[in-house]
């Protein structure tokens, strides 16, 4: 559980890097404002969803460690509503591209998946080298 905050910080950095690329793209290609604006709004909602899920997982872990037998969910309905809110705001108030918004909703989750695979690969390689005695 201690690695969760470190992973979330890395996901936040990757997401902010993607957001900066979107803003640069928006500045360089003003005719694509609708697409880049949708990506920015969807990515921001994706980051909010990642923070919400992290909070729910940490709370569930703390309850389990304390021995509290509370059956809870991970708040999918709340996260789905955040995504829906981003799509509605993008189309109704800003006239951004809804496809860009939906694509942006997956940025933090994909970053989490890729970083998780990368960290698992590193720990497996480290474990394999420890078994062979290469670190002695």
pLDDT value of residue 30: 93
E-strand stretches of 7-126 = none
pLDDT value of residue 76: 87
Cβ proximity of 7 and 112 under 8 Å: yes
Q: What is the pLDDT of residues 20-30, one digit of tens each?
A: 999 999 999 99
The residue among 49, 14, 26 whose CA lies nearest residue 97 is 26
pLDDT value of residue 75: 78
Helix and strand counts by DSSP (H, E) for the chain: 5, 0
In this prediction, residue 133 has a pLDDT band, given cuts at 50, 70 and 90, of: low
Name the token pair of 107. 């940025």
Q: What is the pLDDT of residues 31-90, one digit of tens each?
A: 999 999 999 999 999 999 999 988 888 888 888 888 888 777 777 899 999 999 999 999
pTM above 0.85, yes or no: no
């Amino acid at each position: 559980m201690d690695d969760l905050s470190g992973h979330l910080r890395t996901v936040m950095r990757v997401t902010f890097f993607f957001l900066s690329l979107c803003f640069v793209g928006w500045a360089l290609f003003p005719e694509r404002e609708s697409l880049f604006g949708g990506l920015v709004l969807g990515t921001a909602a994706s980051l909010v969803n990642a923070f919400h899920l992290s909070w729910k997982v940490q709370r569930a872990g703390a309850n389990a460690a304390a021995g509290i037998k509370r059956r809870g969910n991970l708040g999918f309905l709340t996260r789905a509503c955040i995504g829906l809110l981003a799509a509605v705001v993008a189309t109704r108030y800003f006239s951004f591209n809804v496809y860009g918004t939906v694509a942006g909703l997956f940025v933090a989750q994909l970053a989490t998946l890729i970083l998780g695979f990368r960290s698992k690969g590193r720990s497996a390689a480290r474990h394999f080298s420890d078994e062979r005695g290469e670190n002695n």
